[in-house]
Amino acid sequence: MKTVTHRVYNFNPGPAMLPFPVLEKIQQELLNYRETGMSVMEMTHRCKEFEAILENAKTLLKSLLVIPENYEILFLPGGARLQFAMIPMNLYLEGKPVDVLHTGEWSKQAIAELKKLTQYRLAGSTEDLMFTRLPDAHEIKLSANASYVHLVSNNTIYGTQWKTYPETGDVPLIGDMTSDILSRGVNVSKFGLIFASAQKNLGIAGVTIVIIRKDLLGRSKENLPVMLNYAEQVKGNSLVNTAPTFPIYVSGLVLEWVRDQGGVAAIQKANEEKAGILYDLIDASSLYQGTVRKQDRSMMNVVFVLRKGGEDLEKIFDKEASKNGLAGLKGHRSVGGFRASIYNAMLVEGVKALADFMKDFERKHA
């Protein structure tokens, strides 16, 4: 096999870096998957080999996230964004407005779809604070009559993350965990539905996992298009159409890798260490400034700006970081500055390399 000579530390927000052993496994199995004489990419989704791939991914996800028996797991096409439409189409109950916790760009996009499909209310919003923090408990006003509550667990662009989720009583809580699934332990039974597209912590673009409590399947009306109907997708075991087979295969490999690291608890510990390195550095620095209130800081996306030097110094930072093999650090255009996305696959060494670079840059430019 060819040796790899040029790999950078990849801080892209998603699609994001994959664990290296996963890439190696893909390479090994690419041309001839387990003596089938073909690639997973060429395989029918109805054969026993692919069925085993799907079952393996499901079983691993179930055990790693400790998903209770009364939940179904789906692997769907269309990205997390399709869920912004599928959720209201399936779960909205007439006359019961959806409660939304508006904490950034991805709740904004979810609201845009809700506007077309259902009634909704803002149960909390930090838009007037430029999403630099999450709503405090006393600022959240939930209705006992809502169809469900929509929440974004980790706000990828602004770098905020819920540490504890609000209590929603009998109203199902829906969690967009696109950018923090499997990064820390989560009590699945608090949620009616969890969804996450794969390209950050779960593999590559093209598949989205949906974990849905079984009783909610009763809300999917028969007149919905088959592909957009959770109950139909469950009946068809995510194989209603030609499923995104290769992305599902890669998700299975990523889940095996998570298991081999020691599971979600071990991953969480590493994530806490990685985030701690960067936030400690930022807090001690006279050049870097975090943009988020401390208790709401994300373990996945560390957002910071430069206190001085303006765009000129930002450009130099960018250029020098690239030269040092540190890629994908530019902040989202709506926030500016920088964002280090340190998902599960980012190694502690990668974060230490970034921290060393940042300290060195500060010494030179402070």
Ligand X SMILES: Cc1ncc(COP(=O)(O)O)c(C=O)c1O
What residue ranges bind ligand X (CB under 6 A)? 14, 79-81, 106, 152, 156, 176, 178-179, 197
Closest residue to ligand X, judged by C-beta, is 79
Q: Among residues 75, 30, 79, 72, which one has the least CA distance to residue 54?
A: 75
CA atoms within 13 A on the CB side of 316: 11
Choose the catalytic residue: 106, 180, 257, 274.
106
Q: Could you give the CA distance from residue 327 to residue 346 in angstroms, rounded to a whole number?
A: 12
Choosing from 99, 162, 180, 200, which is the catalytic residue? 200
Query: Of 337 and 361, which CB lies nearer to ligand X in the complex structure?
Result: 337
What is the rounded distance in angstroms from the CA atom of residue 352 to the CA atom of residue 340?
Answer: 12
Q: Shortest Cβ distance from residue 79 to ligand X (Å)? A: 3
Shortest approach of ligand X to residue 4 CB, angstroms? 27
The encoded tokens of residue 366 equal 């402070």
Complex with ligand X: residue 61 or 80, whichever CB lies closer: 80
Is 162 labeled as catalytic in the residue annotation?
no
Q: Which pair of tokens denotes residue 210?
A: 């949906």
Least separation in angstroms between residue 198's CB and ligand X is: 8
DSSP state for residue 326 in the 8-state scheme: E
Query: Is 176 considered catalytic here?
Result: yes
**Which residues fall within 8 angstroms of residue 270, CB to CB, at 6 or more apart?**
261, 344, 348
Measured between alpha carbons, how far is 86 from 74 in angstroms, rounded to an integer? 13
Q: Which is nearer to ligand X, 14 or 350 (CB)?
A: 14
Smaller CB distance to ligand X: residue 171 or 181? Answer: 181
Question: Angle CA(64)–CA(299)–CA(62) in degrees, nearest 5?
Answer: 10
Residue written as tokens 């506007």?
115
CA distance 114 to 141: 19
- Least separation in angstroms between CB 155 and ligand X: 7
106 is catalytic: yes
Q: Which is nearer to ligand X, 87 or 326 (CB)?
A: 87
CB atoms within 10 A of CB 80: 25
73 or 306, CB closer to ligand X?
Answer: 73
Give the contacts of 266 (CB within 8 A, at least 6 positions apart): none
Whole-number minimum distance, CB 51 to ligand X, in Å? Answer: 25
Q: Which two tokens stand for residue 246?
A: 């290769």
- Read off the tokens for 200: 């950050």
Q: Taking the complex as a whole, how short is the minimal distance between the CB of residue 289 and ligand X, in angstroms?
A: 23
Question: Residue-wise over 111-145: b if at least 16 C-beta within 10 A, else e?
Answer: bebbeeebebeebbbbeeeebbbbbeeeebebeee
Which are the catalytic amino acids? 106, 176, 200
